[in-house]
Structure formats: structure tokens, C-alpha cells
């Protein structure tokens, strides 16, 4: 086991965002930070604030310079929402799976600071859930529009 760990420490790869050579052990962390840096340079805005009841999924930070609201997912917005600091006592807690999709009922017990295998899994899972909610809202909007068209057609008979 020591041999494979040493071999893993020596392998390197190139970052898909910036092109720099990085060690495979820290690749996930580097690529996440690198992506966030470039993502912050792009603008995703709208002149209208999101009006959804309950907790907002979107950042909706108002930029007075161009009078727009940020439309990134709140949990993934690198400019306006910072990740909470991880303490030394925090545990990773990522649900473990087998065969890529079968939950085992167990959780990763490694310290969150040193667990590179599940780096920021909570953030990604939250974004996944929020995107599913956005899809459901869009589907609901389509159904309301269909209902309106049907009612209009029935009324004009």
C-alpha cells in the first residue's frame, strides 16, 4: 500500500482550465479554485429579481453598475457567497456508495480538511438539488401555460 501511495504522489497532470501542471493528489482542489477564478469573470445577470416563494435558489445580488441581479445558483456563486470555513473537528460525512450508485448506508469519517476524495461534495449536492428544483419550476410554468391555452380554446368555442 505504501508503494501505490508513493506512486500516486509522483503522478502529475495538467489543469483543464489553466493548463498548468499539477500533482494528481491536489488536482481536484486546484481545478475547483481555478474554475471559480475564471467563472467569477463571467457575468450571469438579469434586470429582474427572482420571485419564488420560500428560500431563493439564485444569488440575486444586485449590481448597481449595470442594474442587474446575479442569476447564478446561490450555492455555486463564487463572487457573492463564500464557502464557510472548515474547522479541524469537521468530518467529511459524504454518503458512501458501491458500484457508483448503490448507497451503502455508511458515511466518510475522514476529517473534512484532508478528504480530497469528496472535496466540496455538499456544495455539489446542493447545486444538484437546486437545479432539479429549477427544472420542476420550469415544467410547472409550461403546464400553467398549457392550461391557459386550453382554457382559452374552451372559452372561444
Q: Residue holding cell 416563494?
A: 53
Where are any strands of DSSP class E within 5-114?
A: 12-14, 21-23, 45-46, 62-63, 68-70, 95-98, 102-107
Which of helix, strand or coil describes residue 94?
Answer: coil
Question: Is residue 32 included in any domain, yes or no?
Answer: yes
Q: What is the pLDDT of residue 85?
A: 85
Question: Is residue 7 included in any domain, yes or no?
Answer: yes
Question: Is residue 14 included in any domain, yes or no?
Answer: yes
Q: What is the pLDDT of residue 9?
A: 55
pTM of full prediction above 0.85:
no
Measure the CA–CA gap between 149 and 152, rounded to whole angstroms.
5
pLDDT along the chain (157 residues), means of 10: 48 86 85 82 80 78 88 84 84 88 88 87 90 91 96 93
Q: What is the pLDDT of residue 2?
A: 41
Which CATH number fits the domain that encloses residue 14?
A: 3.30.160
Task: Print the domain residue range for 3.
Answer: 1-41
Q: What is the pLDDT of residue 128?
A: 92
Question: Is residue 18 included in any domain, yes or no?
Answer: yes
Question: Is residue 49 included in any domain, yes or no?
Answer: no
Where are any strands of DSSP class E within 11-54?
A: 12-14, 21-23, 45-46
DSSP state of 56: -
**CB 113, CB 90: distance < 8 Å:** yes
Question: Is residue 125 included in any domain, yes or no?
Answer: no
Question: Is residue 131 included in any domain, yes or no?
Answer: no
User: For residue range 75-108, what is the model confidence (pLDDT) as tens digits?
Assistant: 888 888 887 788 888 999 999 888 878 888 899 9
Count of domains observed in the chain:
2
Amino acid at each position: 500500500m505504501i508503494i501505490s501511495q508513493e506512486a500516486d504522489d509522483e503522478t502529475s497532470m495538467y489543469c483543464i482550465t489553466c493548463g498548468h501542471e499539477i500533482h494528481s493528489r491536489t488536482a481536484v482542489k486546484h481545478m475547483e479554485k481555478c474554475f471559480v477564478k475564471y467563472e467569477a469573470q463571467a457575468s450571469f445577470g438579469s434586470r429582474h429579481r427572482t420571485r419564488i416563494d420560500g428560500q431563493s435558489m439564485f444569488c440575486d445580488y444586485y449590481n448597481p453598475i449595470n442594474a442587474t441581479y446575479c442569476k447564478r445558483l446561490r450555492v455555486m456563486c463564487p463572487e457573492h457567497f463564500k464557502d464557510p470555513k472548515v474547522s479541524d473537528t469537521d468530518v467529511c460525512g459524504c454518503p458512501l456508495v458501491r458500484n457508483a450508485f448503490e448507497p451503502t448506508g455508511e458515511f466518510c469519517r475522514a476529517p473534512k480538511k484532508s478528504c480530497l476524495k469528496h472535496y466540496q461534495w455538499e456544495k455539489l449536492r446542493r447545486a444538484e438539488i437546486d437545479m432539479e428544483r429549477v427544472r420542476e419550476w420550469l415544467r410547472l410554468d409550461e403546464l400553467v401555460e398549457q392550461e391557459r391555452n386550453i382554457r382559452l380554446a374552451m372559452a372561444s368555442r
